[in-house]
Chain A
Amino acid sequence: MRYLIRKTLVLLATMFTITLLTFAAFHIIPGDPAMLILGTEASPEKLEQLRHTLGTDLPLLVQYRNWVAGLLSGNPGTSIRYSMPVADLVGSRLPVTVLLGLMTIILVIAASIPLGVFAARKKDTVVEQFINFFTMLGISFPGFFLSILFMWIFGLVLHLFSPGNYVSYKDNFGGFMQFMFFPALSIAIPEIAILTKYIRTAMIDELGRGYVRTARGVGNSVNGILYRHVLKNAIVSVIPLIGMMIGSIFSGSIIVEQVYGIPGIGRLLISSVTSRDFPLTQTLVLYVAMVIVVTNYIVDILIQLIDPRIRLSSE
């Protein structure tokens, strides 16, 4: 319980720091956003007008207060480019990115656990060398190159999906999932490579422990030892890593959404960056950071629930 309170306090402090940092990045470092948006040749009147719309003519502290108040009340401002409330823009795209992220995580876990166990079983054989080679290759492919390859091979050559024809999850959920499979796979492959490697190492570590000898001593089969005892222990030791992957899965989705033309948060973020839509970028960045911090918080709590050693000693 004390752990939970401490973790929650740290979470709140981190969230506060994130709002400060985000605000600072967009308001202190660059100078005049109006100038950046309109260019140095813009007329003073126009600049003045834009400053007023952006609210940048107010004192910084007031701006920060207004922004945070807006965030808390669900109204973080208006996008310049879309002339729409930021909240609406985010609301319509969030489900897409969340679904993509979930699909990716499921793929990562579903692939790397069996692969990691397999690699550990085949320790010191040619098969292990093969798996090592593929994990090395997996972490070396940038997500967008994989995406382009997949569009070419699975989309254009094999016709497993039609690139560019995004299917909305509202219209046709099945079609949406089918379309999203390859984007999710493009993000997942490097993560699968990393996680497989870690699970393999964790399995081999665990196989050397005393309880494995006890399990063999009472007549367990190799499978019984691996699946009843070792796997659980190995997974518990890699859960923190899965937490850390949330951030990189999101980073991956920013780029992959761009490649496949998926209207999610990532694509919105890139378009806001390229069109210098400050209010939108600022809020998106904050949202993303918040989501990641909160997910990590949840993963931390989950570890507490799963691992009896931590769970019970903290009581």
Chain B
Amino acid sequence: MSNLLEIKNLTIGIHENGGEYTAVDDISYEVRRGEILGIVGESGCGKSITNLAVMGLLNDQLSVTGGEIIYHEPAPKTAENEPPKPAPPPVDLARVSARERQHINGKEISMVYQEPMTSLDPLMKIGKQIAEPLKLHGVNSKPGVKLSKEEIHARVLKAMNDVGIPEAERRMELYPHQLSGGMRQRVVIAIATICHPRLLIADEPTTALDVTIQKQVLALLKRINRQYRTSIVFVSHDLAVINQICDRVVVMYAGRIVETGPTREILEHPGHEYTKGLIRSIPRREEKGTPLPNIPGQVPSTTEQRDPCPFAPRCALAADLCRQQVPEAVEVGPEHMVYCHMISRKQGEET
């Protein structure tokens, strides 16, 4: 599978109250074509910020201070008798112009947000809101032809049906406050997917929803992924949810990546002490009645001085090395990387 998005040594700084801090520190990962990649970590670990940077939606206090976000736009579709066109050159999303950004957002990359209650314009009918990306990007089956009103209407209806909004024709005329949270999140997903983007970023899309609705939304995302081969980055703090839909996982802690690998591999053989802690704190039926284990200590705030291995203060295995040197990636299984000195030391001893 080829890479759609490559994050290389990305660093994001916060400037507030006159000080400069680091929110995301030198992280690298890639999103492959057609996969669902999970990003997991406690709130404040930088997972949302990283994805907002991909979308160019960082607020005024945040800015990319280093690294690259490379987007490989696939070759445009051509008719059967035409010769295939070459893929456009890769773009660095951290440095695109405002105009290029407007072309990419909504068409190539889209995002679904955590709060369905506030993500919609309260004064615009939802049909119009779903149609907006279509109108902006003029996505059409035949290139160069402007979309007609009827066509837009039909596409909006289809998008609403796709995300499972019943009575779409009637609901198009409603305003956001007339819909439930689950319905609103479906509307947000319809807005994000109506142009069939190559990459969909879902930032905790189910956190604000009821458990039953959560399941439906997860199923919907999975279907979008299968049906349109849309790559999905699924951000969550909940490994149990990640386990349900993701092919691979990136585990983040305090602005750094601590472990990456296939979901099953990570859940069955976690390498990093932090990942182990996360997995232990998933409630299990057979442990009913016993207290849920947690990771002692707290996530350091962004304004605090961090150790080179940010987990060192809470890690049972931490040694002096962890407070002196940034850990390198160690491969512990197929595609399974762990950023931990203790594991590399153990491997060194074995060989």
A-side interface residues toward B, CB under 8 Å?
209-211, 213-222, 224, 228-229, 232-233, 236, 307-309, 312-313
Contact = CB atoms under 8 A, between A and B. Distances in A.
A290 B219 CA distance: 60
A213 B119 contact: yes
B123 A214 contact: no
A222 B136 CA distance: 13
Contacts of A309: 122, 175, 177
Contacts of B137: 219
Given A219-B106, A308-B175, A312-B178, A233 B113 contact: no
A219 to B, nearest CB: 4
Nearest to A233: B123
A158 to B, nearest CB: 43
Please indicate which of the listed interface residues A215, A229, A307 has the most CB atoms of chain B within 10 Å of its own CB.
A215
A218 B110 CA distance: 7
Contacts of A222: 98
A220 B136 contact: yes
A34 to B, nearest CB: 58
Contacts of A211: 118-122
8 contacts: A210-B117, A210-B118, A210-B119, A213-B119, A217-B57, A221-B102, A224-B136, A233-B122
A309 to B, nearest CB: 5
B122 A217 contact: no
A217 B192 CA distance: 8
Nearest to A229: B121
Contacts of B277: none
Contacts of B110: 217-218
B124 A229 contact: yes
Contacts of A236: 123
B136 A219 contact: yes
B256 interface: no
Nearest to B175: A308
B186 interface: no
A47 to B, nearest CB: 63
Nearest to A212: B121
A313 B174 CA distance: 12
B102 A220 contact: yes
B123 A232 contact: yes
B55 to A, nearest CB: 6
Interface string B98-132: 10011111110011010101111111100000001
Contact of A209 (B55, B118, B178): B118
B131 to A, nearest CB: 11
B121 A233 contact: yes
B123 A307 contact: yes
Interface in B131-155: 132-133, 136-137
A232 B56 CA distance: 25
B191 A218 contact: yes
